[in-house]
Structures are given as C-alpha cells and as structure tokens.
Amino acid sequence: MSDTAALVWKNCLHFIQDNIQPQAYKTWFEPIVPAKLSEQILSIQVPSKFFYEWLEEHYVKLLKTALTKELGKDARLVYIIRMENTFGNKTPFTESIPSKNRNSFNTQEVDAPLNSYVGELKNPFVIPGIKNLQIESQLNPNYNFDSFLEGDSNRLARSAALAVANKPGGTSFNPLLIFGGVGLGKTHLAHAIGVEIKEKYPDKTVLYIAAEKFTQQYIESVKKNTRNDFIHFYQLLDVLIIDDVQFLSGKTGTQDVFFHIFNHLHQNGKQVIITSDKAPVDMQDMEQRLLSRFKWGLSAEIQLPNFETRISILKNKLYRDGVTIEDPIIEYVAKNIKTNVRELEGAIISLIAQSSFNKMDITLDLAQEVVQKFVKNTKREVSIDYIQKVVSEYFQMDVETLQSKTRKRHIVQARQLAMYFAKKFTKASLASIGNQIGKRDHATVLHACKTVDNLGYTDKQFRKYVEDLSQKLTL
C-alpha cells in the first residue's frame, strides 16, 4: 500500500464519516483498503463485486465529493476486487473496475482478467435422450406470499424474503438463510421468493433445488467427468435457492463445489437463498469457510406459530378450500395441534375427509375424535415452554425464577436442565433456546448441555434428575 494512497483515503474517510450514519460507515467503508495512487486515480480494494456495486449505487456521490476535496476536479476512482478463483486454483486473482458512474467520475478503461469459459454448457437438468430441454425454475406456484400467513413466529423471515424478492442481489440480505424446525414453512417461503422474482423479473434465471438433488447431480458430474460443466451451469444463474442445505454436512466434495458456485454468484451480485433446519452455529460437519459465508447476509428463524397464528392458518386453509367450520371447532384444533403448520393443515384435512366420507356434520365431538387420533399417531414434539413448565414444577419453583439471573446452585441446575432438554427434544436453534430461557446466548446453552452431560456421569443425584425429567417429558 502506498503511503500517499493511505493518507488520501484517511482524509476521505474523515469527510465520509461526518456525512453518513455510523452503522453504514462501519459496514461499507471500514472494510475498504487503499491500494495505490497514480496521478489523480485512487485505487481501493473492496471485498466483493457485490460490495462494489452497492457503493456505486448508494455512495458514489459522497465518494466523488470526498476525492475531489483531496485530488481536485479530475479525481478518478478504481475498485480492485480480490476474488478466490472459482475454478479450483488456490491463487486469488484481482479484477480492476473503474467507477461506472459517468456523472460522478471520469472513467478509465482497464483490462480485467476475468475467467471465461467457451463451449457448450451442459444442463444437469436435461433428461437423457431429450434434446434442447430448457431449464425450468422448479418452482411451485402454489407456494407464494399470498398463501403464506404472517405471524410473530415468521415476521422477520417473511419481511426479509419480500425485500429479496423485490430486489434480488440488491439488498444486504445476501445470502438469505431461513432456518427452523420441520413443517414451519421454510420451503414455502423459499418458493415464494422465486415465484415473486419470476413475476417481477421474467428475464432472470431462477432455480430452486433441494440440497440432496444438488448432491446427486454433482456425484453424477464427477462420474461423467463433467464437473466443470456442472459448475459453469450454476454460475449462470441469477437466483439460486438451495433447500435443506444441512444435507451437505459431511459431504466435503459437494461442499467444495458449492463454495465455488456461491462465491461466484455472490461476487457478481446474484442472489442466494438457503434453507436449513438449524442455524449456522448448530450445523455439524460443515466447512467453516462455507459457514462464514452463510453469515454474510441475514439468518432469519421461523419459530413455532402461536395460537393466533395457528387460527389464521386454519381459516386461510378453509377459505382456500371453500369450506366453512364454526370458530369453536377451529379453536379446538389450533389449541391441540401445536407442532408445526404441516400437521395443523393435515389435521383439518383429516377432519374434512371424515365428514365427507361418513356424511357427517363437522361437530366439536368429531373434531375431538379426529384430533385425538391424529395426535396419538403423530410423533409428539415438545415445546420449550412445556419443558420449562415441567422442569419448574419438578424443582418446585415458578418459570420466572427458572429464567432469572440468580446464580443459586439449584436454580442454575434447573435452568441448565431446561436448556439440555430443549436441545434434545426440540428443533430450535441454540440461540432460540437461550433467548426463550431467560434471554441467554447460544454459548450459555452449549455450556449448559455439556455440564448436564458431565454431571450425569459423575453425580448420582443429578443423574436421577435427568432420568425423572426425561420420563416426564416423554410420557
């Protein structure tokens, strides 16, 4: 780095810092590194192409003013992007891009050493024996935003999904990672983003694919020696939606190829959407470099829907199916089916089917009969609230005491046991468990689980606590 470039950029930063919000300055200007100053051309290194495009769209006038104060009216700006090579070479390469805003900066032509690929790209979705099959987005049009009910449990995820759908690749939610338990609507929301993008931007190439299918395609490409074709195909996409990314855990080859695809798309301002049944911090056997990239954007959790949201989901389902059921019956179903949206809708479908097949009216008695059978035949998923209630009653304290900040030994142990069983019996992330049990962080939950495991081996009385509570929670 040139001392002169560093000084000029330092002076520019003083001016910029005085004219924007602190969070924006920290996000978009602190990571920039001044590279060199040649005459009146300042070259700055930015982390990615997406980063450069954001600066050009939102801060180019501010940059122009700052540089003009330092270098005069003929000041020019060049971005240097240091990128990991997407074709497997370990040596990174750089791309120099002059500011493209002609109204703000004079531009300078710079040769950019971009990787290119010449030849026919093979589509991994082509069915053998059928020629010229066009790539389809693999989206389900029924999974749209209109049919996705918003509630407290999913508001952040839905809002972020809408923002991405309105401006794919143009928000800070890239990648957008949606995580949560089974049947809570992750796949629905992922499809909804794709469907909305296709409606608003018909020319954009959008692809939805399950991580399991992605893995199968990659294995097939290795067998047929078409790995490069596989990579190049995915690098052509504008929007990539990967469902159930946790399926890649332990599959180092697939993770490696996904890493290169992800890097290429992100650096070129393309949108990546990922779903998972757990938060990045809880993913096992996933490469750290991949996990770090998942954290670049936004991780939005979908939690279990509350009572009011469950009622709204049922009413929306009935309205779409053209069926009318009295409110007390809807409320009964919503009160007794708490596990996930899929089972909630399954229960109401079973109720309608029983009524139709047996030519019976839908009554509360029929609802009770159907729901009892449905709950009995469905694997019960214990909620964090229920675990706290059981643990609190066992130790003869209220839930507020369990969640309190006190360090009294018996209360701490009760709290640790609640966290342990929440991790064991629910799909919630460590962060979500900690938040619901006294506003703790994920590290506290992890420590609690390890403590319970250790004491279970060394302390006979504590082992009895674990056995008793385990029996109560699995009855």
Q: Which residue has better confidence, 127 or 380?
A: 380
List, in order, residues 6 or more apart from 149 with CB less than 8 Å away. Answer: 309, 312, 313, 316
Q: Looking at the predicted structure, is the pLDDT value of residue 117 above 50? A: no
Q: What is the mean pLDDT of the chain?
A: 79
* Angle made by CA atoms 380, 381, 387, in degrees to the nearest 5: 115
Give the sign of the dihedral formed by CA 421, CA 424, CA 425, CA 431: positive
- Alpha carbon 271 to chain centroid distance? 12
252 Cα distance to chain centroid: 21
Q: Is the pLDDT of residue 344 over 70?
A: yes
CATH 3.40.50.300 given to domain 155-302: yes
How far is the C-alpha of 49 from the C-alpha of 67, rounded, in Å?
21
Q: Where are the domains of the chain?
A: 3-98, 155-302, 307-377, 384-473
Nearest to 301, CA basis, from 434, 141, 438:
434
How large is the average pLDDT for residues 220-249? Answer: 87
What is the distance between the alpha carbons of residues 241 and 207, in angstroms, rounded to a whole number?
A: 6
78 beta partners: 43, 98
- Residue 54, amino acid: W
Q: Which of 178-187, 399-408, 411-420 has the lowest mean pLDDT?
A: 178-187
Q: What is the pLDDT of residue 271?
A: 94
Token reading at 311: 């009622």
Domain boundaries 307-377, CATH class: mainly alpha
pLDDT in tens, 173-224: 888 999 987 778 889 999 999 999 999 998 888 999 999 889 988 888 888 8
Q: Which residues contact 424 (CB under 8 A, 6 or more apart)?
A: none
Determine the pLDDT at residue 401. Answer: 92
Distance of CA 109 to the CA centre of its chain: 38
Look at residues 275, 295, 36, 311 and name the one whose alpha carbon lies nearest to residue 178: 275
Flag whether pLDDT at 377 surpasses 60. Answer: no
How many residues in total does the chain contain? 475
384-473 belongs to which homologous superfamily? Answer: DnaA protein, C-terminal DNA-binding domain (1.10.1750.10)
Question: Any idea which of 129-133, 359-363, 439-443, 445-449 has the lowest mean pLDDT?
Answer: 129-133
Yes or no: domain 3-98 corresponds to CATH 3.30.300.180: yes
Cβ atoms 145, 162 nearer than 8 A = yes
Per-residue pLDDT at 91 exceeds 60: no
Q: Is the pLDDT of residue 109 over 50?
A: no
Q: What is the pLDDT of residue 22?
A: 80
Residue that wins the pLDDT comparison between 402 and 88: 402
